[in-house]
Amino acid sequence: MQTDLELLLKLQMIDYDLGELERSKEYLPDMMENLHREMQDVADRLSQVKELLTASRAKQKTLELDIKTKEASLTKYQQQMMSIKTNKEYDALVAEIDSIKASISSNETELLQTIEAISALEKDLAAYQEKDTQIRENNTRQLSILQEKIDSIGEKVAAKEAIRQQVVGTISRPTLSVYERVRRGKGGQVVVLVRKRACGSCYKALTQQRIQEIRRGDKIMTCDNCGCMLYWDNNESN
């Protein structure tokens, strides 16, 4: 029986691996999708920064041109001051000059802010370009590893199934049928270690007599509560 137990543990490990392979059919594509999304996010941010930078540089040009035009007007008005004849003309011209000076000043403030924004955006651009290159490189490498894993699932499953068949062939039929029944019923671990004098799966306490029977190992014992097959390991059970 001890041999059957060992074989069952081996079978359980194979079934766990098969289950993992099955689950990987879902989580590997999910992981790939996340890597693609991460690359896309950085690429999107990079192009946003590029767009903002282009717009800010255009704004800088427009402001510089505006200021130049207004300064030309200001020079023209200041020259007109020389040929002023009436107080009314004088007042009108002073008002005009004040207004254009205020406008130039406001443009200059905006220009300064724009230049500062451009400088910050240039730093962002460099950072995002570096991040984009890094993530693209890293994720592309990971994607090809994941793709290889996905491509080899079928092969791995077939190999595991073949080993499973071999192991199954060496386990006694009644024992195997208990294993299969419990596995179908609850999934996950079927053969569990006794831990702290309780079932290692559902933690139901075991009687002293039950523990003795399990320790003898001459019969496959199952948990009354969850149906798991129980075993004792002198190194780990207590």
For residue 182, state whether it binds Zn ion (rule: CB under 5 A): no
Q: CB of residue 6 vs Zn ion: minimum separation in angstroms? A: 21
For residue 201, state whether it binds Zn ion (rule: CB under 5 A): yes
How many angstroms separate the CA atoms of 176 and 219, rounded? 13
Which residue number, 49 or 226, has a Cβ lying nearer to Zn ion?
Answer: 226
Output DSSP code: residue 205: B
Restricted to residues 8-37, the positions that interact with Zn ion (CB under 5 A) are none
Which residue number, 217 or 227, has a Cβ lying nearer to Zn ion?
Answer: 227
Q: CB of residue 135 vs Zn ion: minimum separation in angstroms? A: 47
Q: CB of residue 126 vs Zn ion: minimum separation in angstroms? A: 60
Which residue number, 166 or 212, has a Cβ lying nearer to Zn ion?
Answer: 212
For residue 225, state whether it binds Zn ion (rule: CB under 5 A): yes
* Binding-site member from 183, 226, 231, 232 for Zn ion (CB under 5 A): 226
For residue 190, state whether it binds Zn ion (rule: CB under 5 A): no
Which residue number, 100 or 192, has a Cβ lying nearer to Zn ion?
Answer: 192
Amino acid symbol at 92 = A
Q: CB of residue 162 vs Zn ion: minimum separation in angstroms? A: 32
Q: Is 198 helix (H, G, I), strand (E, B) or coil?
A: strand
Where helices occur in the chain by DSSP H, the ranges are 2-80, 87-170, 173-186, 208-216
Conformational region of residue 201, where left means phi above 0, alpha means psi within -120 to 50, and beta covers everything else? alpha
For residue 223, state whether it binds Zn ion (rule: CB under 5 A): yes
For residue 202, state whether it binds Zn ion (rule: CB under 5 A): yes
For residue 211, state whether it binds Zn ion (rule: CB under 5 A): no
For residue 176, state whether it binds Zn ion (rule: CB under 5 A): no
Number of residues this chain uses to bind Zn ion (CB under 5 A): 8
Tell me how far CA of residue 215 lies from CA of 128, 220, 232, 237, in angstroms: 63, 10, 5, 10
Exposed/middle/buried for residue 95 (C-beta within 10 Å: 0-12, 13-18, 19+): exposed
Which residue number, 24 or 222, has a Cβ lying nearer to Zn ion?
Answer: 222
- Give the binding range for Zn ion (CB under 5 A) out of 53-61, 78-86, 120-128, 198-206: 198-206
For residue 199, state whether it binds Zn ion (rule: CB under 5 A): yes
Sign of CA dihedral 92, 98, 103, 108: positive
For residue 230, state whether it binds Zn ion (rule: CB under 5 A): no
Q: Which residues contact 24 (CB under 8 A, 6 or more apart)?
A: 149, 150, 153
- Between helix 2-80 and helix 173-186 the angle, nearest 10°, is 30
How many angstroms separate the CA atoms of 101 and 189, rounded? 83
Which residues of this protein are in contact with Zn ion, per CB under 5 A?
Answer: 199, 201-202, 204, 223, 225-226, 228
